[in-house]
Amino acid sequence: MTTAALWALRATAGGILATGVAVGVMSINPPVQPAHPIKMSVPVVVAGRGVDTVAAPALSPVPPPPTAAAPTTAHPAMPKPARKPPPPKVAAAPTVAPAVTWQSTFAALSARLPGTWIVQDRGAWGATDLNTGTVYIAPRTPLSKLSSVMYHESVHVLQGRVFGGRSGADAGLATYGGIEAVADCGARMLGATWTNYVQHCSAAQNHAASAILRGVKP
């Protein structure tokens, strides 16, 4: 032990950066040859590579035993740092549910409501061609009212189907307050929280709207 310590001291005095770990090597080979410290420099180089291995956890699926690896990224003492991938640190964060957006609301409702849905401003938040079943939703429609508007327009689509177009719907629903009132009442039945034309539907209007939603004339 004392001789090894002496070799270590000599090596340090000779300008070689020696650590306590490398004392055994130095005791075997006298420090006269400066070429041997290559072995001593190996852990230093590996230490730098070991840091890169930390950033790539895909190398080995088996985590090392927790006792072997001190998770300091400064320098691993083992010459093979490839088998010590620490668990990924950042993968557990994004568990937040996706936020409800205008686009997601439009996509979800247009997928299940009758009609051909197009995002386009035709002068109103919603506009429906009862003859073709095409619905235009203006992108400026507030998100807070988007679903209510879409429910209303979907009733227009059904009105056009039941009565064979716009003129037939106008005539057939005139006694119930017209297509707009009935569309509002139907929208309320579908879950609308906001309507533009009617705030309280009569029993007759609810009867008409219910029939339209079932696809029949009232």
Site residues (CB under 5 A) for Zn ion?
180, 183
The β-bridge partners of 116 are 134
- Please identify, using beta-carbon distances, which residue of 137 and 183 lies nearer to Zn ion: 183
- To the nearest whole angstrom, how small is the minimum distance from the Cβ of residue 98 to Zn ion? 31
Amino acid at 58: A
Identity of the residue, 57 or 180, whose beta carbon is nearer to Zn ion in the bound complex:
180
**Closest distance to Zn ion from the beta carbon of 173 (Å):** 11
Least distance CB 100 / Zn ion (angstroms):
24
Closest distance of CB 162 from Zn ion, Å: 15
Nearest approach, Cβ of 101 to Zn ion (angstroms)? 24
- Measured from the CB atom, is 69 or 183 closer to Zn ion? 183
| Nearest residue (CB) to Zn ion, 109 versus 183 | 183
Whether 34 and 17 have beta carbons less than 8 Å apart is answered as: no
CA angle 202, 207, 211 (to 5 degrees): 150
> From the centroid of its chain, how far is CA 160?
39
**What are the C-alpha distances in Å from 191 to residues 39, 149, 210, 216?**
76, 11, 13, 20
Closest approach, Cβ 104 to Zn ion, in A, equals: 24
How far apart CA 98 and CA 181 sit, in angstroms, is 35
Q: Which of 196, 110, 198 is nearest to 154 (CA)?
A: 110
Query: Smaller CB distance to Zn ion: residue 170 or 180?
Result: 180
- Residue nearer to Zn ion on the CB measure, 53 or 195: 195
